[in-house]
Amino acid sequence: MVSLNLFLALAAILFCIGLYGVLTRRHLVIILVSIELMLNAVNINLVAFSSIGPFANITGQVFTIFVITVAAAEAAVGLAILIALYRNRSSIDVIKQDLLRW
């Protein structure tokens, strides 16, 4: 059996790639994609613990379902916002969306 540590390491790498994407990419769609990657990294952790963790049980998988649900909802709302934003400001470059400025 593959050791739990390797799964966790993989998830960590995936999470950090997603985080880096969120911090540096300029296309809003790609930022949303990066967020999905980060959520998936979490899911990998949950499922790995649920299956081969020291106290393996079903709860991790149940939570994975919740996370997937929330991620789907988030993706739907995020894309809707993105479309509304694009319609209003003709751009989905995150650098140009600086209305929160002081």
Partner 1 sequence: MIQNAWLIPLLPLAAFVILLLGGRQLKQAAPVIAIASVAGAFVLSSVVLMERIGGDTFAATVRWLTIGPVDVTMGFEVTALNSLMLFVVTAVSLLVHIFSKRYMAEDGRIHVFYGYLTFFTFSMLGLVLAPNLLQLFIFWELVGLCSFLLVGFWYFKKEAADAAKKAFLVTRIGDVGLLVGLVLLFNATGSFEYGAAFAAVEAGEVSGTMVTVIALCIFLGAVGKSAQFPLHVWLPDAMEGPTPVSALIHAATMVAAGVYLVAVTYPLFLASGTALTVVAYTGAITAVFAASIALVNTDIKRVLAYSTVSQLGLMMLALGTAGYVAGLFHLMTHAFFKALLFLAAGSVILALHHRQDITRMGGLWHRMRTTAVTFLIGTLAIAGIFPLAGFWSKEAVLAAVWANGDVVLITLAALTTVLTAFYMFRLFFRVFAGTYRGDVEAPAENGKTVTVPLIVLAVFAVTAGFVHFPLNGYWLEGFMTAGLNYGDQAHGGLGLAAVSLLLAAAGAGLAWRLYGKGEESGMQEKVPAVHHLLENKYYIDEIYAAVIVRPLMTLSRLFVEVDRWIIDGAVNFTGAITFRTGRQAGKQHNGQLQTYGLVSVAGGIALIAAVFAVRGYFG
Partner 2 sequence: MSAEMIFFLILGTIVIACSVLVLILNKISHRIASMAFAFMAIAGLYFLLRAEFIGIIQIMVYVGAVSILFIFGMMLTDHRAKGFGPERSRVHKLLSFTGVGILLGTILYGVLQADFAPNDNPYVGSAEMIGLELYGNYLIAFIGVGVLLLAALTGAIVLARKEAE
What separation, in Å, do the N-terminal and C-terminal C-alpha atoms of the chain show? Answer: 54
Is 95 one of the binding residues for partner 1 (CB under 8 A)?
yes
Rounded to whole angstroms, how far apart are CA atoms 100 and 57?
44
Is 97 one of the binding residues for partner 1 (CB under 8 A)?
yes
Q: Which amino acid is at 4?
A: L
Site for partner 1 in 14-53 (CB under 8 A): 19, 22-24
Q: Which is nearer to partner 1, 47 or 53 (CB)?
A: 53
The gap from C-alpha 77 to its chain's centroid, in whole angstroms, comes to 14
Is 101 one of the binding residues for partner 1 (CB under 8 A)?
yes
- Applying CB under 8 A, the residues found at the interface with partner 1 are 19, 22-24, 94-95, 97-102
